[in-house]
Chains A and B, each alone.
Chain A
């Protein structure tokens, strides 16, 4: 994960800290954003290798942000890992259809597993 740029978009500050500590500890360059409206700007500015995107965000939800990213010819190839605490097979299929690289339920996924999945996606894309 050396020097890979990861943008985390989540409104839970505690979780943002956990992502940051864990992924930075693994050598990634991490930037966080808690405001859904600023997500697209952050992607433009930071040009991440991967985006971790929470589904339930105030004002603008993760599905809308994902659609905007996938509709944009410059950003559509950036892999997006959707995370939420709403779990169901339907959502996994929905995320896959919308172009997400993965859909994970936070409370059911240990941080170690999340990191492994991110590493795997990044290695595929490099």
Chain B
């Protein structure tokens, strides 16, 4: 109660000062207007504006700003009168006397200094009126101003005077006086603190309103959940997107109204399997796509992002943002389905060609020999390569469409490489290539997508064998580097011409010497390899000297055991 009344008194004082400044402004404006001086009328109006501004700031509680403003107003008034009265200040010595204590008070940091200075300034029009003698209106206005000013100064100075006047020689009384003085100082501080608190509260209230308006205007569904999974807040879009009344969501668990399925729609998820629980558990942002079934049984695909609310190391909730990605998911499915159907359609006639040629070569319809057999074998080989080419194109389409999946699982890279080497056995033996494997223990147990790595090794090792002379060596190394894996494939082959080294990862590009040596390549293998490595977050580089050989170096960062959203796997039959 005490603080409230005190703040009120302070406001009264501020209002009085403002009133004074405003009065000066009005009077001066009327006076100069009647004298026909435009410049000075404008200056007086400026004084008036400053006074009104200080009044406004007094009401909004910015005390310091009020005093600054009132001070500027008073100085402006003084300057105005000094100019108008032809430097009357210099010929009226008592002015200077009044200014001295005012300046002293200002330097000492006393708030009342400003008011005293204004008092001095207010005396200037008195002098002016004395000298002009015929401006009754100005006189009445200024007289009122003097009275107000005197009251203001008295009010401002009252407390201070009281503090000073109670000094006594009695130690008890002095102690009491000191205590009183400290208490008053503390009370003053408290009042100030409470005023600041009030201002801060208002600001906070305003910020909260801005926050609420911002969350409401977001197009995505935004839900704020407690650690217990109960919804604390939901924005308007949440109600619209989820098909549940916004107010009904509060205090409920999200699975009470909605069903969450995997993106493929084959598994219904429990509450604990959603991003919310994962975000709390891992204390990190988790993002997944779900098929969400609304209460009215309609469904949509939602990209759900859960961010844990961590304060001082403790998780006390989750911000859940759900974006409707139905169009994107459908487009991805359409792209992926198109590629699958196209691939199926291309493979179907190929199966007939393969099987028929195979039966002819087996002698199912009579013995085949000589040039005829040779020609049919060529056709059969070409048909096999066509199959491989279709797989490569299928992979490239999926890479370009961004619809291939990454499924890192605990696997043996050694087993992957062994299988690739076995697949290439015929070609390796044909060229008497020596394939050396130098695999560290890390290769036996690593979280990685073994299907994708199989494509990588198949392309790199088959290239190494294909573009190397007979009896040469190919060395495959896998070792740990930092947290990730380093893989190198080194050959003693023809190398890549320096001028073409910048292009070897381009789709369909084939180096001149490679085309000459192996006309059947597709130019897709290294493009696919690089795309896979980049998708895994890794990097690939090479060093090559023409006529000496090439070494490809791959770095793969540690992989998390989870699937990247993607509708289709890449085919590992491609690239041979």
Contacts and interface: CB of A to CB of B under 8 A. Distances in A.
Interface of A: 12, 14-15, 18, 21-22, 25, 56, 84-90, 105-108, 110-112
B415 to A, nearest CB: 14
A59 to B, nearest CB: 17
B354 A21 contact: no
Contacts of B198: none
Given A18-B352, A22-B359, A112-B362, A85 B569 contact: no
A83 B354 CA distance: 15
Contact of B348 (A12, A18, A88): A12
Interface string B359-394: 100101000000000000000000000010010000
B478 to A, nearest CB: 22
13 contacts: A12-B351, A18-B352, A85-B351, A86-B344, A88-B569, A88-B571, A105-B347, A106-B347, A110-B355, A111-B354, A111-B355, A111-B358, A112-B358
B414 interface: no
Contacts of B568: 88
A110 B355 CA distance: 6
B350 interface: yes
A25 B573 CA distance: 30
Contact of A90 (B343, B347, B348, B569): B569
Interface of B: 340, 343-344, 347-348, 350-352, 354-356, 358-359, 362, 364, 387, 390, 451, 568-569, 571, 573
Contact of A18 (B343, B359, B390): B359
Nearest to B571: A87
A108 B383 CA distance: 11
A22 B364 contact: yes
Nearest to A87: B571
A106 B356 CA distance: 13
Contacts of B390: 107
Given A12-B352, A86-B344, A112-B358, 8 more contacts: A12-B348, A14-B356, A21-B364, A56-B344, A86-B343, A107-B387, A107-B390, A110-B355
B364 A107 contact: no
Nearest to B572: A89
Contacts of B352: 12, 14-15, 18
Nearest to A113: B358
B573 A110 contact: no
B466 to A, nearest CB: 20
Contact of B358 (A88, A89, A90, A110): A110
A18 B356 contact: yes
B364 A110 contact: no
Nearest to A114: B355
Contacts of A21: 359, 364
Given A25-B364, A56-B344, A112-B358, A106 B571 contact: no
Contacts of A89: 451, 569
Nearest to A19: B355
Given A25-B364, A108-B387, A85 B347 contact: yes
Contacts of B347: 85, 105-107
Given A12-B348, A18-B359, A25-B364, A110 B571 contact: no
Contacts of B569: 88-90
Given A86-B340, A87-B573, A107 B350 contact: yes
A84 B220 CA distance: 42
A63 to B, nearest CB: 13
Given A22-B359, A88-B568, A108 B573 contact: yes
A58 B364 CA distance: 31
Nearest to A106: B351
A21 B359 CA distance: 9
A105 B348 CA distance: 10
Nearest to B380: A110
B389 to A, nearest CB: 11
Contacts of A85: 343-344, 347-348, 351
B355 A18 contact: yes
A90 B571 CA distance: 11
